[in-house]
Amino acid sequence: MTLAKKRILTAYAFLALPLLYFICVRFIPMLYAMVMGMTNWGLLAKELKFVGFDNFRTIFSDPVFHKAFGNTIKYAVIGAPLVIVISLFFALQLNVINRGKGLYRLLYVLPYITPIVAVSWVWRWMYQPPPIGLINGVLSYLGLKTQGFLNDPGQALYCITLVNVWVELGYCITIFLAGIQNIPVEYIEAAKIDGASSRTLLFRITLPLLLPITLFLMVMEGIQFLRIFTQVYNMSVQATGGPLDSTKSVALYIYQTAFTKFQMGLAASASMVLFLLIMAVTLIQIKFFDRKVSY
């Protein structure tokens, strides 16, 4: 056997391990969930019966699922672009400064590495009505009107989205900053010699070269916001996605259907709907940004 063939076999051997893990931990459970989503599987069911697409008809006729589905779309549409724009802005600012860059990077990444349950409860306390809530306490001190925040159906979803944006900033800033620092200095210097302004450098060099990183972060953050669960569970009223289901996500709907109502078949069907939603959004993002990158 030649040395080249030995290297190829070694590469396949190492690649087979994560592939086997993916098949056992991801692919097989996904197929199992698809099958169970077409049954009346439940902890209280006496016998397992095949019901076809009845579970999907049930969840799509459920107004609570419609509300959760719409909320999930709002989380992704508002949160993902917002965290990308803000993190890119801060990364550009961090790239300019010389002193304290490591300290600022650490401060921004701390929320991301902090357990999300702890973050959620701290922010829940800050959002509380006066005199407990810190934010309402500041508003009251300034003579401004206090807000309902998590107790207001019109504000609760945006309050939770803001917390998730704040958490994800550290990760996105780190990735963007690494991308900015890897842009060849020759490009910048050549453009400056030609008389390019800071605006031209940003829109003609920096942002186009950051498009692959932007694609990666948009996909990852889109998935993150579509799967949002922990923040909603810990910050919403009585952990039910309230008030009035205004913050309930599809992930929380699946959890409640499975472990509160014990309707595992319905929960499996809802999880497949969430999977298809995430896959569709991801494919749309990849197709859109790939076209931009190729240009």
pLDDT digits (tens, 9 = 90+) for 128-174: 988 888 999 999 888 889 898 999 999 999 999 999 999 999 899 99
pLDDT for the residue numbered 205: 87
pLDDT for the residue numbered 229: 93
Low-confidence ranges of the chain (pLDDT < 50): 295
pLDDT for the residue numbered 157: 94
How many angstroms separate the CA atoms of 161 and 76, rounded? 9
C-alpha pair distances (Å), 39 with each of 28, 50, 66, 156, 263? 17, 4, 22, 35, 10
- Does residue 92 contact residue 150 with C-beta atoms inside 8 Å? no
For the domain made up of 38-115+149-294, the CATH class stated in words is mainly alpha
R_g over Cα of the chain: 24
- Does residue 108 contact residue 169 with C-beta atoms inside 8 Å? yes
| Count of beta carbons in the 10 Å neighbourhood of residue 150 | 25
pLDDT for the residue numbered 232: 93
pLDDT for the residue numbered 125: 92
pLDDT for the residue numbered 294: 53
Give the closest residue to 249 by CA, choosing from 45, 65, 78, 82.
65
How many angstroms separate the CA atoms of 60 and 51, rounded? 15
pLDDT for the residue numbered 292: 59
Hey, what amino acid is at 114?
T
What end-to-end distance do the CA atoms of the chain give, in Å? Answer: 44
